[in-house]
Amino acid sequence: MTQYIIISVVSGILFGILDGLMNANPLARRLFEVYKPISRTSVNIPAGIVIDLVYGFAMAGTFLLLYSSLPGQAGWMKGVSFAVMIWFFRVVMYAASQWMTLKVPVGTVLYIVKAGFVEMLILGLLYGLTLEPAV
């Protein structure tokens, strides 16, 4: 249980750092200009931290719940499998919705898909290398 709590907090912090790196770099800022008319002018940092920590707990818990059903024998393989699954449901479906409902350039959608894959892969590997269900 202690390891779950530690990894959940670490992954929540990592979530925030990766989101910042992937959304605030010069390329992303240029690609995300399309959202400028509807974007907030400032970010609520305390709320963002809480949300990322909740995501960390939810994703680590989901990984543990699905652990025995995930393909692969080694933990890192299970982490990669989890990452691909979460990437599809969290990132690909979001990007497809953006592309279908808004006038978002294909380059922006592809950046979201690629950056999201990197983020989910890092988090999946963290879970796969550090978490196992208690026996």
For residues 134 and 46, the model is more confident at: 46
Cα-based torsion angle of the residue sequence 43, 119, 93, 113 in order, rounded to the nearest 10 degrees: 100
Stretch 80-93: mean pLDDT, rounded?
Answer: 95
Give CA–CA dist 93/109, Å, rounded.
11
- Give the pLDDT confidence score for residue 53 in this predicted structure: 93
Q: pTM for the full model? A: 0.85
For residues 39 and 96, the answer to whether their CB atoms sit within 8 Å is no
Cα gap 31→111, rounded to integer Å: 8
What is the number of residues in the chain?
Answer: 135
User: Hunting for tokens 């979530």 — which residue is that?
Assistant: 15
The DSSP element (H or E) to which 77 belongs, if any, is helix 75-86
Share of the chain above pLDDT 90, in %: 59
